[in-house]
Amino acid sequence: MIHSDLHIHSEYSYDAVLPLATILEKAKERGYRQVGVTDHLNLPNNKFIGCLSESAKHVLEAKKTNPILLLGVELTPIEKPFYDFNRQNPTSEGYSPAGYTPPNLLAGESSYPLEMALSKEELMAYGVQYAVAAAHGYIDVPHPDVRDKMATIAAWERMQLYLAADERTTILGHPYYHGLQIWYDDFSVIPYSTHEELAAALVENGKYLEMNVDMLVHPKTTELFRHQYAEYMRFMFEKGVRITYGSDSHGGYGDQRPLIYPYLEKAGFKDGDFSELDPADLWQ
Protein backbone atom coordinates (compact mmCIF):
# COMPACT_ATOMS: atom_id res chain seq x y z
CA MET A 1 0.00 0.00 0.00
CA ILE A 2 2.81 2.44 0.90
CA HIS A 3 5.85 2.59 -1.39
CA SER A 4 7.69 5.74 -0.30
CA ASP A 5 8.70 7.59 2.85
CA LEU A 6 8.88 11.36 2.49
CA HIS A 7 9.50 12.50 6.07
CA ILE A 8 12.72 11.26 7.68
CA HIS A 9 15.29 12.96 9.92
CA SER A 10 18.94 12.08 9.44
CA GLU A 11 22.02 12.39 11.62
CA TYR A 12 22.38 15.97 10.32
CA SER A 13 19.24 17.21 12.06
CA TYR A 14 19.68 18.79 15.50
CA ASP A 15 17.38 16.19 17.10
CA ALA A 16 18.18 12.98 15.21
CA VAL A 17 20.85 10.29 15.02
CA LEU A 18 19.71 8.18 12.08
CA PRO A 19 22.62 7.61 9.66
CA LEU A 20 21.95 8.50 6.05
CA ALA A 21 23.50 5.17 5.03
CA THR A 22 20.90 3.32 7.13
CA ILE A 23 18.05 5.30 5.55
CA LEU A 24 19.22 4.30 2.08
CA GLU A 25 19.86 0.69 3.04
CA LYS A 26 16.39 0.23 4.54
CA ALA A 27 14.67 2.12 1.72
CA LYS A 28 16.22 -0.20 -0.87
CA GLU A 29 15.32 -3.29 1.17
CA ARG A 30 11.69 -2.13 1.25
CA GLY A 31 11.61 -1.29 -2.44
CA TYR A 32 10.76 2.36 -1.90
CA ARG A 33 10.27 4.44 -5.01
CA GLN A 34 11.08 7.70 -3.20
CA VAL A 35 12.80 8.41 0.10
CA GLY A 36 13.07 11.96 1.40
CA VAL A 37 15.38 13.37 4.06
CA THR A 38 13.61 16.29 5.72
CA ASP A 39 15.83 17.62 8.48
CA HIS A 40 14.47 20.38 10.69
CA LEU A 41 14.77 24.06 9.82
CA ASN A 42 12.81 25.58 12.69
CA LEU A 43 14.50 28.97 12.92
CA PRO A 44 16.63 31.22 10.68
CA ASN A 45 19.68 31.19 12.96
CA ASN A 46 23.14 29.65 12.93
CA LYS A 47 22.09 26.39 14.59
CA PHE A 48 19.42 25.47 12.09
CA ILE A 49 21.12 26.93 9.00
CA GLY A 50 24.11 24.79 9.94
CA CYS A 51 21.90 21.69 10.08
CA LEU A 52 20.45 22.48 6.66
CA SER A 53 23.88 23.03 5.16
CA GLU A 54 25.18 19.68 6.44
CA SER A 55 22.05 17.82 5.39
CA ALA A 56 22.13 19.30 1.90
CA LYS A 57 25.83 18.55 1.42
CA HIS A 58 25.56 14.88 2.32
CA VAL A 59 22.17 14.14 0.80
CA LEU A 60 23.00 15.73 -2.54
CA GLU A 61 26.26 13.78 -2.69
CA ALA A 62 24.45 10.50 -1.91
CA LYS A 63 21.74 11.35 -4.44
CA LYS A 64 24.28 11.10 -7.27
CA THR A 65 24.24 7.30 -6.89
CA ASN A 66 20.80 6.91 -5.31
CA PRO A 67 18.15 8.41 -7.62
CA ILE A 68 15.30 7.51 -5.24
CA LEU A 69 16.74 9.96 -2.69
CA LEU A 70 15.18 13.42 -2.37
CA LEU A 71 16.42 16.43 -0.41
CA GLY A 72 13.61 17.94 1.58
CA VAL A 73 13.32 20.06 4.69
CA GLU A 74 10.85 20.30 7.56
CA LEU A 75 9.54 23.80 8.25
CA THR A 76 7.30 25.10 11.00
CA PRO A 77 5.41 28.39 11.45
CA ILE A 78 6.82 30.88 13.94
CA GLU A 79 5.58 34.30 14.97
CA LYS A 80 7.01 37.22 13.00
CA PRO A 81 8.80 38.99 15.91
CA PHE A 82 10.58 35.73 16.78
CA TYR A 83 11.48 35.24 13.11
CA ASP A 84 12.89 38.78 12.92
CA PHE A 85 14.95 38.26 16.09
CA ASN A 86 16.49 35.05 14.73
CA ARG A 87 17.26 36.68 11.39
CA GLN A 88 19.30 39.29 13.24
CA ASN A 89 20.97 37.12 15.90
CA PRO A 90 23.04 33.92 15.77
CA THR A 91 20.83 32.18 18.36
CA SER A 92 17.37 32.61 19.88
CA GLU A 93 18.87 33.20 23.33
CA GLY A 94 17.60 36.38 24.94
CA TYR A 95 14.38 36.68 22.97
CA SER A 96 11.58 38.14 25.07
CA PRO A 97 9.00 40.29 23.31
CA ALA A 98 8.13 43.26 25.50
CA GLY A 99 4.61 43.19 26.80
CA TYR A 100 3.74 40.01 24.92
CA THR A 101 0.43 38.46 25.87
CA PRO A 102 -0.60 35.25 24.10
CA PRO A 103 -3.72 35.91 22.01
CA ASN A 104 -7.01 34.23 22.83
CA LEU A 105 -7.85 32.88 19.39
CA LEU A 106 -11.17 31.53 20.63
CA ALA A 107 -12.18 35.08 21.53
CA GLY A 108 -11.17 36.33 18.11
CA GLU A 109 -8.09 38.20 19.29
CA SER A 110 -5.51 38.86 16.61
CA SER A 111 -2.05 37.35 16.76
CA TYR A 112 1.29 38.09 15.19
CA PRO A 113 1.67 37.15 11.52
CA LEU A 114 3.33 33.80 10.88
CA GLU A 115 6.56 33.18 9.01
CA MET A 116 8.94 30.30 8.28
CA ALA A 117 12.71 30.17 8.48
CA LEU A 118 13.78 30.75 4.86
CA SER A 119 12.18 31.75 1.59
CA LYS A 120 11.65 29.23 -1.19
CA GLU A 121 14.46 30.85 -3.17
CA GLU A 122 16.83 30.55 -0.21
CA LEU A 123 15.92 26.90 0.26
CA MET A 124 16.44 26.15 -3.41
CA ALA A 125 19.91 27.69 -3.20
CA TYR A 126 20.81 24.80 -0.88
CA GLY A 127 19.38 22.29 -3.37
CA VAL A 128 16.16 21.61 -1.44
CA GLN A 129 13.50 19.95 -3.62
CA TYR A 130 10.42 20.10 -1.39
CA ALA A 131 9.22 20.92 2.10
CA VAL A 132 7.20 19.14 4.74
CA ALA A 133 5.62 22.03 6.66
CA ALA A 134 3.93 21.26 9.96
CA ALA A 135 2.49 22.98 13.01
CA HIS A 136 4.50 22.39 16.15
CA GLY A 137 3.31 25.22 18.35
CA TYR A 138 5.27 28.36 19.10
CA ILE A 139 8.80 27.16 19.52
CA ASP A 140 10.74 28.54 22.51
CA VAL A 141 8.47 31.56 22.98
CA PRO A 142 5.49 32.32 25.24
CA HIS A 143 2.41 30.66 23.82
CA PRO A 144 -1.22 29.91 24.67
CA ASP A 145 -1.79 27.27 27.31
CA VAL A 146 -1.18 24.15 25.25
CA ARG A 147 -3.19 22.12 27.73
CA ASP A 148 -6.39 23.91 26.71
CA LYS A 149 -7.78 21.72 23.94
CA MET A 150 -10.01 24.23 22.16
CA ALA A 151 -7.48 27.07 22.30
CA THR A 152 -4.80 24.79 20.91
CA ILE A 153 -7.08 23.42 18.20
CA ALA A 154 -7.80 27.01 17.14
CA ALA A 155 -4.06 27.72 16.98
CA TRP A 156 -3.43 24.53 14.98
CA GLU A 157 -6.23 25.39 12.55
CA ARG A 158 -4.76 28.83 11.98
CA MET A 159 -1.27 27.45 11.37
CA GLN A 160 -2.45 24.65 9.08
CA LEU A 161 -4.50 26.99 6.90
CA TYR A 162 -1.48 29.28 6.68
CA LEU A 163 0.67 26.35 5.58
CA ALA A 164 -1.91 25.13 3.06
CA ALA A 165 -1.68 28.47 1.26
CA ASP A 166 2.09 29.00 1.47
CA GLU A 167 4.25 28.38 -1.60
CA ARG A 168 6.90 26.64 0.51
CA THR A 169 4.57 23.86 1.62
CA THR A 170 4.70 20.74 -0.52
CA ILE A 171 3.35 18.35 2.12
CA LEU A 172 1.34 19.42 5.15
CA GLY A 173 2.96 17.33 7.86
CA HIS A 174 1.34 15.38 10.72
CA PRO A 175 -1.99 17.27 10.98
CA TYR A 176 -3.13 17.71 14.58
CA TYR A 177 0.02 16.28 16.09
CA HIS A 178 0.37 17.42 19.70
CA GLY A 179 3.50 17.14 21.82
CA LEU A 180 1.50 16.71 25.04
CA GLN A 181 -1.04 14.36 23.38
CA ILE A 182 -3.96 16.27 24.91
CA TRP A 183 -6.49 14.96 22.38
CA TYR A 184 -4.96 11.55 21.70
CA ASP A 185 -7.85 9.82 23.45
CA ASP A 186 -10.62 10.98 21.09
CA PHE A 187 -9.96 12.71 17.76
CA SER A 188 -13.60 13.78 17.45
CA VAL A 189 -12.78 16.80 19.62
CA ILE A 190 -11.48 18.40 16.40
CA PRO A 191 -14.51 20.14 14.81
CA TYR A 192 -15.69 18.53 11.57
CA SER A 193 -15.86 21.95 9.89
CA THR A 194 -12.09 22.30 10.18
CA HIS A 195 -11.61 19.14 8.10
CA GLU A 196 -13.81 20.52 5.33
CA GLU A 197 -11.98 23.84 5.34
CA LEU A 198 -8.51 22.33 5.36
CA ALA A 199 -9.33 19.83 2.62
CA ALA A 200 -10.62 22.62 0.38
CA ALA A 201 -7.48 24.69 0.99
CA LEU A 202 -5.14 21.79 0.27
CA VAL A 203 -6.91 20.88 -2.96
CA GLU A 204 -7.12 24.50 -4.12
CA ASN A 205 -3.39 25.00 -3.57
CA GLY A 206 -2.25 21.60 -4.85
CA LYS A 207 -0.74 20.41 -1.56
CA TYR A 208 -0.22 16.89 -0.24
CA LEU A 209 -1.24 15.74 3.25
CA GLU A 210 0.93 13.42 5.33
CA MET A 211 -0.19 10.23 7.02
CA ASN A 212 2.38 10.31 9.81
CA VAL A 213 2.95 6.87 11.30
CA ASP A 214 3.23 8.21 14.86
CA MET A 215 -0.44 9.15 14.87
CA LEU A 216 -1.35 5.45 14.64
CA VAL A 217 1.37 3.93 16.83
CA HIS A 218 2.05 6.44 19.60
CA PRO A 219 1.62 4.67 22.96
CA LYS A 220 -0.69 7.42 24.22
CA THR A 221 -3.12 7.14 21.31
CA THR A 222 -6.18 5.02 22.08
CA GLU A 223 -7.63 2.42 19.73
CA LEU A 224 -10.57 4.77 19.24
CA PHE A 225 -8.24 7.62 18.24
CA ARG A 226 -6.30 5.45 15.80
CA HIS A 227 -9.42 4.35 13.94
CA GLN A 228 -10.79 7.90 13.96
CA TYR A 229 -7.53 9.28 12.60
CA ALA A 230 -7.37 6.70 9.80
CA GLU A 231 -10.97 7.60 8.93
CA TYR A 232 -10.00 11.29 8.94
CA MET A 233 -7.25 10.55 6.43
CA ARG A 234 -9.72 8.64 4.27
CA PHE A 235 -12.15 11.57 4.45
CA MET A 236 -9.41 13.92 3.23
CA PHE A 237 -8.47 11.48 0.45
CA GLU A 238 -12.07 11.27 -0.73
CA LYS A 239 -12.18 15.08 -0.79
CA GLY A 240 -9.41 14.93 -3.41
CA VAL A 241 -6.37 15.49 -1.18
CA ARG A 242 -3.29 13.50 -2.15
CA ILE A 243 -1.93 11.51 0.81
CA THR A 244 1.75 10.73 1.40
CA TYR A 245 3.43 8.60 4.06
CA GLY A 246 5.96 9.83 6.60
CA SER A 247 7.74 7.72 9.19
CA ASP A 248 9.14 10.86 10.85
CA SER A 249 12.01 8.66 12.00
CA HIS A 250 14.72 10.25 14.17
CA GLY A 251 16.63 7.24 15.49
CA GLY A 252 15.83 3.65 14.62
CA TYR A 253 14.30 2.99 11.22
CA GLY A 254 12.12 -0.06 11.69
CA ASP A 255 9.37 -0.72 9.17
CA GLN A 256 6.14 0.30 10.91
CA ARG A 257 3.87 -0.02 7.88
CA PRO A 258 2.54 -3.45 8.98
CA LEU A 259 1.41 -1.87 12.27
CA ILE A 260 -0.71 0.79 10.58
CA TYR A 261 -2.10 -1.19 7.63
CA PRO A 262 -5.00 -2.69 9.63
CA TYR A 263 -6.25 0.82 10.54
CA LEU A 264 -5.81 2.14 7.01
CA GLU A 265 -7.45 -0.90 5.40
CA LYS A 266 -10.45 -0.70 7.72
CA ALA A 267 -10.83 2.96 6.75
CA GLY A 268 -10.93 1.95 3.08
CA PHE A 269 -7.36 2.51 1.86
CA LYS A 270 -5.93 0.16 -0.73
CA ASP A 271 -2.83 -0.13 -2.88
CA GLY A 272 -2.58 2.86 -5.19
CA ASP A 273 -4.23 5.36 -2.85
CA PHE A 274 -1.01 6.73 -1.34
CA SER A 275 0.99 9.18 -3.42
CA GLU A 276 4.60 9.76 -4.24
CA LEU A 277 5.66 13.27 -5.14
CA ASP A 278 4.88 14.19 -8.73
CA PRO A 279 8.08 15.42 -10.44
CA ALA A 280 6.14 18.55 -11.37
CA ASP A 281 5.79 19.34 -7.66
CA LEU A 282 9.52 19.15 -6.97
CA TRP A 283 11.25 22.52 -7.03
CA GLN A 284 14.30 21.28 -8.93
User: Do residues 270 and 234 lie in contact, with contact meaning Cβ atoms separated by under 8 Å?
Assistant: no
**What distance, in Å, lies between the first and last C-alpha atoms of the chain?**
27
- Closest to 114 measured CA to CA, from 103, 125, 130, 123: 103
Q: Which letter does DSSP use for residue 256 in this model? A: -
The strand order across the sheet containing 130-133 reads 4-8, 34-40, 69-75, 130-133, 171-172, 208-212, 242-246
Per-residue pLDDT of the chain (284 residues; tens, 9 = 90+): 999 999 999 999 999 999 999 999 999 999 999 999 999 999 999 999 999 999 999 999 999 999 999 999 999 998 888 899 899 999 988 877 655 555 565 566 667 789 999 999 999 999 999 999 999 875 444 455 556 788 788 888 989 999 999 999 999 999 999 888 889 999 999 999 999 999 999 999 999 999 999 999 999 999 999 999 999 999 999 999 999 999 999 999 999 999 999 999 999 999 999 999 999 999 99
Q: How far is CA 119 from CA 46, 128, 160, 224, in A?
A: 16, 11, 18, 39
| Cα four-point dihedral sign 30, 210, 276, 224 | positive
pLDDT score of 95: 79
pLDDT score of 152: 80
| Structural domain for 120, as ranges | 4-281
CB neighbour list of residue 239: distance below 8 Å, 6 or more residues apart: 196, 199, 200, 203
User: Do residues 129 and 70 lie in contact, with contact meaning Cβ atoms separated by under 8 Å?
Assistant: yes
Secondary structure class of 264 (helix, strand, coil): helix
Q: Which residues pair with 212 in a beta bridge?
A: 246
- Closest to 244 measured CA to CA, from 27, 23, 35, 16: 35
CA atoms within 13 A on the CB side of 166: 27
- Closest to 195 measured CA to CA, from 223, 213, 166, 172: 172
pLDDT score of 142: 44
pLDDT score of 80: 86
Length of the chain: 284
Number of domains comprising the chain: 1
* CATH code, 243: 3.20.20.140
User: Do residues 169 and 208 lie in contact, with contact meaning Cβ atoms separated by under 8 Å?
Assistant: no
User: Do residues 120 and 62 lie in contact, with contact meaning Cβ atoms separated by under 8 Å?
Assistant: no
- The whole-angstrom separation of Cα 115 and Cα 137 is 13
Residue 154: phi and psi, rounded to 5, are -65, -40
- The whole-angstrom separation of Cα 260 and Cα 42 is 28
User: Do residues 234 and 269 lie in contact, with contact meaning Cβ atoms separated by under 8 Å?
Assistant: yes
User: Global pTM?
Assistant: 0.94
